[in-house]
Amino acid sequence: KYYFINIWNTICIPCIKEMPLLDSIAGLNKKNISYFYVSDNSEKQVINCLNKHKITCKNFQYLNDMNDFISSIFNE
């Protein structure tokens, strides 16, 4: 299994601009790849940012830190 990890921040303009494209690519190839975006922002801040910019991230799983990522790998 492969993992795509996007390090992301709500004040990073390139991060905001790339997310719709990355999410659409993730939607095409979910068979052997799990998609995560890791942010040091709270989940509420991330959701507010995504809503503000009308971005849906239905193919990515939000994680607040790398410990969450490591835990999620072992729980799959």
Q: Take residue 5 and report the two structure tokens written for it.
A: 């990890």
Q: What is the pLDDT of residue 13?
A: 93
pTM over 0.85: no
Q: 18 or 76: which carries more pLDDT confidence?
A: 18
Contacts with 39 (C-beta within 8 Å, 6 or more apart), sequence order? 7, 8, 9, 10, 45, 46, 62, 63, 64
Q: Take residue 44 and report the two structure tokens written for it.
A: 């509420």
pLDDT bin (cut points 50, 70, 90) of residue 66 is low
* 26, 50 Cβ separation under 8 angstroms: no
**pLDDT above 70: residue 62:** yes
pLDDT bin (cut points 50, 70, 90) of residue 1 is confident
The β-bridge partners of 33 are: 2
Taking residues 52-69, what's their average pLDDT? 82
